[in-house]
Amino acid sequence: MGIDVVLDKCTGCGLCVKACPFAAVVVKDKKAEIDARCTLCGACADACKFEAIIIQRPEQTTEDLSGYKGVWTFVELHGEGIRKVSLELLGKSSDIADELGEKVGAVLLGRDTARHCDGLAAHGADVIYLAEHENLEDYYTQTYSAILCGLISNHRPSIVLFPATHLGRDLAPRVAATLGLGLTADCTGLSITEGMLLQSRPAFGGNIMADIICPGARPQMATVRPNVMKAREPDTGRKAEIVTVPVDIDLKGLDVVIKDVVSTVTKGVKSLEEVDLIVSGGRGMGNSENFAILEELADILGGGVGASRAAVDAGWRPRSDQVGQTGKTVSPRLYIACGISGKIQHQVGMKSSDTIVAINKDPEAPIFEIADYGIVGDLFEIVPALNEEFKRTLHKGK
């Protein structure tokens, strides 16, 4: 494993200096020089337009993999806080690490993020790799992946988990490709078999679950859907070791420039993945206007409105409302499915809800197989009746 500068090709342009997040490259006498701070993250080789920097990584199948230790979670931040899925992954990492006798690592990148360390420790992190820099405030694939690749090359964890969010789905493949590793995307189950990570995910349109292991490479890497793992109850007495990662980020050499970050979520409104109650509608709703009765129910009970893919494809609801395999995975305390048949692709996105209520006029609809409470009947009679009754009861309670 090593890094070389091909002197004949190096022009001393300095792109590699800008790209290196660890300040390990300098140009002397018009040639790049790389010092001991190099983590083999690969950012300089990617930036070089002349193929003058060569990184040799070990052929993993011939390597002894026993030196890889630690179950890591990449921590995604959201607004002022830690995204819930990161805490879920820390919970899962803790279970896996307990079984393997390894430590739980949390990788936290950003600007002024040290304030989150106590929360990460409380949720299971034993070691927190903390890289702070003003230029890490916005997520850039290149900067974040370079730092992660460097950390992984240096510390050699056995497992790295990423949230299957937009960010995680962008970052994890880049890290895997740079380090020449595999990646299992969108896992819904993780366990240990014969010391290896057994990664389960739906395949063939959700009709089967595929179990994937990675015997020949480390770390084993997976993205994991939000709301399928459980976060641990926080233990505020827990402490973590904090490993400060010195970084020096220059955004000038990047291929992408972020000019503005626009949130499509209204301030104060929680996303479907985070609400406690969802009223969802399917093809049985008939049209977009009819969703008003579901919105009313969600308003009365304080929740959000979801939809099946059929309702979204019909243009009755926005894509961001879709629950299921190609939509969101949700896990509210109460999920009320109205006019949804409950095909497997819908179920995989909501079956971990604490309580499921189904309203459907077909008593044979598959949704009833997973529902805790089923109401067979016409939703256009049942939902308005529920709305009236809830309004009356809740009003009385005030």
Ligand X SMILES: Cc1cc2nc3c(=O)[nH]c(=O)nc-3n(C[C@H](O)[C@H](O)[C@H](O)COP(=O)(O)OP(=O)(O)OC[C@H]3O[C@@H](n4cnc5c(N)ncnc54)[C@H](O)[C@@H]3O)c2cc1C
- Find the shortest distance in angstroms from Cβ 286 to ligand X: 7
In this chain, which stretch among 215-223, 261-269, 296-304, 320-328 interacts with ligand X, using CB under 6 A?
A: 320-328
Asked whether the CA dihedral 169, 22, 178, 108 is positive or negative, the reply is negative
Evaluate whether 292 touches 235 at the Cβ level (below 8 Å). no
- Find the shortest distance in angstroms from Cβ 97 to ligand X: 32
Give the CA distances from residue 161 to residues 42, 115, 256, in Å, rounded to whole numbers and listed in that order.
20, 22, 25
Q: Look at residues 50, 60, 89 and name the one whose alpha carbon lies nearest to residue 72.
A: 89
87 burial via Cβ count (<10 Å: 0-12, 13-18, 19+): buried
Beta-strand pair 77-78/81-82 = antiparallel
Evaluate whether 175 touches 149 at the Cβ level (below 8 Å). yes
Residue from 5, 340, 356, 358 binding ligand X (CB under 6 A): 340
Evaluate whether 89 touches 108 at the Cβ level (below 8 Å). no
Restricted to residues 191-210, the positions that interact with ligand X (CB under 6 A) are: 205
Q: Which residue's CB is nearer to ligand X, number 160 or number 359?
A: 359
Q: Is 311 in the site for ligand X (CB under 6 A)?
A: yes
Burial 163-193 (b: 16+ CB within 10 A, else e): bbbebbeebbbbbbebbebbbbbbbbbbebe
Residue from 69, 92, 133, 343 binding ligand X (CB under 6 A): 343
Restricted to residues 369-388, the positions that interact with ligand X (CB under 6 A) are: 378-380
Restricted to residues 238-297, the positions that interact with ligand X (CB under 6 A) are: 282-284
Q: What's the 3-state SS for 76-98?
A: CEECCEECHHHHHHHHHHHHHHH
Q: Which residue's CB is nearer to ligand X, number 142 or number 308?
A: 308
Q: Which residue's CB is nearer to ligand X, number 190 or number 340?
A: 340
Q: Which residue's CB is nearer to ligand X, number 380 or number 390?
A: 380
User: How large is the greatest C-alpha to C-alpha distance in the chain, in angstroms?
Assistant: 83
- Find the shortest distance in angstroms from Cβ 352 to ligand X: 15
Q: Is 306 in the site for ligand X (CB under 6 A)?
A: no
Q: Which residue's CB is nearer to ligand X, number 167 or number 307?
A: 307
Q: Which residue's CB is nearer to ligand X, number 158 or number 345?
A: 345
Residue from 346, 353, 358, 374 binding ligand X (CB under 6 A): 346
Tell me which residues touch ligand X (CB under 6 A): 205, 282-284, 308-311, 322-327, 339-341, 343, 345-346, 349, 359-362, 365, 378-380
